[in-house]
A = this chain, B = another copy of it.
Amino acid sequence: MQIAIIGLGRMGGNIARRLMKNGHECLVYDRSVETVAALSGEGAVPAASLGELAAKFSGRKVFWVMLPAGDPTEATIRDLAGLCAPGDVIIDGGNSFYKDDIRRAKELEPSGIAYVDVGTSGGVWGLERGYCMMIGGPEETVRDLDPIFAALAPGYGDIARTHGRDAPDDRAERGYIHAGPAGAGHFVKMVHNGIEYGLMQAYAEGFDILASKNSEHLPADERFALNLPDIAEVWRRGSVVSSWLLDLTADALASDHSLERFSGRVADSGEGRWTIDAAMEEAVPAHVLSAALYARYRSRSDNTFGDKLLSAMRFGFGGHVEIPQ
């Protein structure tokens, strides 16, 4: 199938590569001429502008936009809409907010342009392992694009079958789902990332408790100098907490026991925050998911105004002068 990939960063470039490896024809565009040239050298059809990209399609145009969420994606989709005819497809494979998808699908509908949103997980490992995809959009369009999704997905692999599963639709087992109408793909991906933050924070807190068990503030006979790389490793074997994130933890600890190379300042992206917004709208308690996010916020501050206020109150009622510990 002919498909254009717009945005050839880490994700977009590898998506093009995996599609070409599976026999699809990729037209590619990026604002970096060098990046386009590189992909061209690997077999992609280069374009120097969105217009040129559109012109290179032989039939129905399918655009896969793989750009940062927000303005870059928004502007590109607007420009592409002007290059589309009824029946053409615009796919947002980035990390857009799902309400933007709902809006865009409505805006494009009168022009007969189908809008599809694809939440994509897999990171730098996707080229090799395949991409886990959560897709929103019209039933028919998603079916039409199935060869694309099937090529990008990991496939059955050697993962054990789920017990009792007898769904006629085996796409989930091959690594992609049609989650619902426009927005549903990014919504599911958004919650995926919210969960991811919660899982990560659970490991982080647990390992922190392990690492701090040798603190001199504890009674001498209750201190343990624990071997964290070994603990991560052993939990990978038959324990309830085994996971891919634990595998990565074991990887990281194996070569850097005290993780000295990391500053401890942790970024977060929109999905985690939007997950909390969704919990608010649905009135669902999400203590863990929001705590995970707050821990990242806190990691980026040396101290907070709120903490100073606590000290100020303590000074007010007790004459306490805080002494750094």
Q: How many residues of A contact B (CB 8 A)?
A: 160
Q: Which of B166, B175, B221, B265 contacts A325 (CB under 8 A)? A: B265
- Specify which of B184, B287, B298 is in contact with A226 (CB 8 Å cutoff): B184
The answer to whether A309 has its CB under 8 Å from any CB of chain B is yes
The reply to whether B233 and A165 contact each other, CB–CB distance below 8 Å, is yes
Residues 290 to 322 of chain A near chain B (Cβ within 8 Å): 290-300, 302-320, 322
Q: Which of A252-308 contact B (CB under 8 A)?
A: 252-256, 258-259, 262-268, 273, 275-300, 302-308
Q: Give the shortest distance, in Å, between A223 (CB) and chain B (any CB).
A: 9
**Residue pair B286, A251 in contact (C-beta under 8 Å):** no
Interface positions of A from 173 to 213, Cβ below 8 Å from B? 173-177, 179-181, 183-184, 187-188, 191-213
In the bound assembly, the distance between CA atoms of A181 and B222 in angstroms comes to 10
**Given the complex of chains A and B, what is the CA–CA distance between A180 and B314 in angstroms?**
29
Segment at the interface with B among A22-30, A54-62, A151-159? A151-159
A248, B317: Cα distance in complex, Å:
7
- Chain B residues closer than 8 Å to A227, beta-carbon distance: 177, 179
Q: Report B-chain residues with C-beta under 8 Å of the C-beta of A99.
A: 222
Inter-chain contacts of A258 with B (CB < 8 A):
305
CA distance A60 to B265 in the complex (A): 53
CB atoms of B303 and A179 under 8 A apart: no
A234 on the interface (CB 8 Å rule)? yes
The answer to whether A212 touches B121 (Cβ under 8 A) is no
Q: Report whether A236 and B322 are in contact in the complex, using a CB–CB cutoff of 8 Å.
A: no
